[in-house]
Structure 1
Amino acid sequence: MPIRVIQWATGSVGGAALRTLLSRTEFELAGVYVHSPAKAGRDAGEIAGLPDTGIRATDDPEEILALDADCVTHMPLPSAYFTDDPDRDTRVICALLASGKNVVTTTGFSHPRTQSPELVQRLEEACARGKTSLYGAGINPGFMSQVLPLALTGLGARIDHVYLRECSDFAGNPSRAVVTGTMGLGRSPGDYRQMIRPFRAFQEQSFAESIHLVAEGLGLRLDDVEARDEIAAATSAFDVAAGSIPAGAVAASRWTFSATIEGRPVIDMECVYKSDSAQLLPWGDPGVVLRVQGHPEYVVRVEEFSNGLVGAAAYTVNAIPAVCAAAPGIRTCLDLPLITGRGAVRLG
């Protein structure tokens, strides 16, 4: 029988997940939750740009909780950054878990033990009530900063240091709300420093979870994770899909997260956001670089990724069978079988 899935939120990532769910025979869409009243009542197929399904979207969380489903792909913009109610995602996820629905989310929760014992207790109690599991699949950080380094460190006979850099190019992103509103690119340095404060807290929390997850997979107990960020200004004005980047405005940002044991760096992660990589040569090219120092030493590069948001959505959907089959409780990529694109292959 197909796995019955509810899609929670239908933005850029959630919409891609919805289209993936509707294209795969191993899943059956059970419901759709939308934040926008304009989408409420519309057919899920219409929202996804596909033929009608007979499933109407709702903006009423109680309707979603009452549905019979195996799993919820929970993919709103994270409340910890995008709302004045940072606890909202936790409350929603706990309610979904307690109602008997497994949850795969892109709002964090990849390693809740990094945050607090209280958070872990709330989530575990909800899982126990519903006999369900929670998996934080992540967007950024996510697969590239968690699963990829964990898998490839299996090649090391001795590991001295793990370094990962992910560089994103926003030149083709048409959303001014994302490029300037969320990332702060195109703002004056003064405006950027003021608006980035909530994002900084969210970034530090998210990457701390990733680093501690990788450390746990390597059998390490970290002493500290230090976070730093810096910006680069545009030397001249240029245009991107989301609008103009004025001369002197913030054109890129770089975030670095360094984990140490007894004062020695063991894991470093770097995240670079560029408004246009063709205009900004420093801080590396778009893509992902993983460097493992030790014996042997090796570098792995992911140089091209045509649509990272679709990839994040697909990884979340592909995780559903493993999460539904898992024992109740908080699950990480250390607990689950290797998540692959099984069911996504198309021949002919």
Structure 2
Amino acid sequence: MGPLGRQIGRYIDEKNEIQTVAAVDINKDLKEKDFGEFINGKASNVFIENTVDNALQKLSKKPDVAIITTVSDIRKLESQIEDVAKHGISIVSTCEELSYPWEENPKISERIDAICKKYNIACLGTGVNPGFLMDYLPAVLSSVCKNIESIKVERIQDASPRRVPFQQKIGAGLDLEAFKKKELTGTLRHVGLKESVYFLAQSIGVKLDEVTEDLKPVIAEENINVTSMNIKKGNARGVEQISHGYVNGTSKIEMHFKAAIGEPRSFDRITIKGVPSFVSEIDSGINGDIATCAITINSVKSVLKATPGLHTMATIAVPGYIN
């Protein structure tokens, strides 16, 4: 029931083809609160429980799918997946590391896949990024190419309108010493950039020799005041990450991610060099919070059609808008 979970709940409430029948959060203060009143002030007769088991005990039939919006770390997600899967309920999760976990977390991927097959359910990790803009979308665009030399994907965004946890995740407002300390703990970064590189490489049939990732703060050149925080000149206003996938010492795939408060122009751009070569750009970019919630919901039908096991966006039926 964090910001993302609440927003997804509000979006589902507007839908005709899908509805929320149970809600779970480990926060004991939320136990037995009306879910609808909690997310948008409208009574729903769905009450938040602290465990999946307790939530399902109150239902006459099990849900078709569970949406898990809890963590970015696949290691923390594994037990949560089993808590749901053992009831025979398929899963869509916004966990970034689940979007293409086979290279970075192969053993956990195998265990999650085995759990899904044991309980005859499908599980998908998705979101706007990773899950769409920097991996799935360029993979789809590559399908019109006769040959591909390289692909560069750029996501540059002004983080001012994003949810506060996202702003904190990119280090906005931190002095450079605090930024570095948080970076070393692995908690300050856009999670999923390498996963996007591996996803795209798999999609275009490229076996990478090496994948690198570099991270640095984006520095405020003047004081910045936004609703969520005040950033002093010289402090970090966000993060810039660049990841390369190499073949024989040549960069075949480049991912450039930059998210910072006060960024002057937002855009999503895919540059493919090959036959044909072309550039596809989304001016102003896609709002990450809106799109993450939307694609999570819109993937539900595809997951319900999928075979048992752990899936990526490349192995499910193409999602479409759910009314």
* Counterpart-to-counterpart distance in 2, 1:154 and 1:173: 32
Tell me how far 1:28 sits from its aligned partner: 3.1
**What code does the residue aligned with 1:98 have?**
K
Structure 2 partner of 1:17: 8
Q: Of residues 133, 136, 144 in structure 2, which corresponds to 1:147?
A: 136
Q: Does 1:213 align with 2:199?
A: yes
Structure 2 Cα separation of the partners of residues 332 and 38 of structure 1: 35
1:123 aligns to 2:112 (yes or no):
yes
Structure 1 pair 14–305 and aligned structure 2 pair: CA distance change class (3 A): farther
* Aligned counterpart, 2:176: 189
Cα offset, 1:91, TM superposition: 1.1
CA apart distance, 1:203: 4.4
**Structure 2 residue corresponding to 1:315, chosen from 282, 291, 295:** 295
- The CA distance in 2 between the partners of 1:201 and 1:50, in whole Å, is 33
Q: Distance in 2 between matches of 1:116 and 1:12?
A: 27
1:74 is matched with which residue: 68, 71, 74?
Answer: 68
- Where structure 2 has 5 or more consecutive residues not aligned to the other structure, the ranges are none
Is the Cα–Cα contact under 8 Å of residues 106 and 139 in structure 1 kept in the other structure?
no
**Paired residues of 2:169 and 2:188 also in contact (CA < 8 A):** no
Structure 1 Cα separation of the partners of residues 218 and 304 of structure 2 = 44
In the TM superposition, structure 1's runs of 4+ consecutive aligned residues that sit over 4 Å from their partners are 200-204
Query: Aligned partners of 1:113, 1:174: CA distance in 2, in Å?
Result: 29
In the alignment, structure 1 segments of 5+ residues that lack a partner are 1-9, 81-85, 279-284
> Which sits farther off after the overlay, 316-325 or 57-66?
57-66
Confirm or deny: 8 A CA contact 2:4 2:69 kept in the other structure.
yes
Identify if the C-alpha distance between structure 1 residues 14 and 294 changes in structure 2 by more than 3 Å, giving closer, same or farther: same
Give the superposition deviation at 1:268.
Answer: 0.5
Residues 272-287 of structure 1 aligned to structure 2 (within 5 Å): 272-278=258-264, 285-287=265-267
Q: Give deviations 1:110-137, integer Å, cap 9, x for gaps.
A: 1221134321221122112210011011
* Counterpart Cα distance in 2 of 1:69 and 1:337: 21
CA gap of 1:187–1:117, structure 2 versus 1, over 3 A, is closer
What CA distance in whole angstroms lies between the structure 2 residues aligned with 1:21 and 1:120?
29
Identity among equivalent pairs (%): 18
> What residue is the counterpart of 1:102 in the other structure?
90
| Distance 1:53-1:337 versus aligned 2 partners, 3 A rule | same
Contact 1:141 1:210 in 2 (8 A): yes
Q: Match for 2:220 among 215, 234, 244?
A: 234
SS of residue matched to 2:30:
coil
Q: Per-residue displacement from partner, 1:80-118 (whole Å, max 9, x unpaired)?
A: 3xxxxx732111112312321111001131122113432
The Cα RMSD (Å) is 2.1
SS of the aligned residue for 1:255 comes to strand
Q: Distance in 1 between matches of 2:312 and 2:160?
A: 33
**237 and 161 in structure 1: CA distance in 2 versus 1, 3 angstrom threshold:** same
Q: Distance in 2 between matches of 1:61 and 1:340?
A: 28
Instruction: Write the deviation string for residues 187-223 of structure 1: whole angstroms up to 9, x where unpaired.
Output: 111110001223368746x222211111111111111
1:262 corresponds in structure 2 to 248
**In structure 2, do the counterparts of structure 1 residues 17 and 275 end up closer, same or farther at CA, with 3 Å as the change threshold?**
same
Q: Which amino acid aligns with 2:152?
A: Y
- Counterpart amino acid of residue 185 in structure 1: A
Report the CA distance between 1:231 and its aligned residue.
Answer: 2.1
Distance in 1 between the 2:71 and 2:243 partners?
Answer: 23
Whole-angstrom distance in 2 between the partners of 1:235 and 1:15: 35
What is residue 89 of structure 1 aligned with on the other side?
Answer: 77
Q: What secondary structure is seen at the aligned counterpart in 1 of 2:242?
A: strand
- 1:226-248 deviation per Cα after TM superposition (whole angstroms, max 9, x unaligned): 11112232222221222211111
Q: TM-score when scaled to structure 1?
A: 0.85
Contact 2:182–2:188 (Cα < 8 Å) also in 1 = no
Report the TM-score, using the length of structure 2 for normalisation: 0.91
Matched with 2:239 is: 253
Contact 1:13/1:310 (8 A) holds in 2 = no
Aligned residues: 319
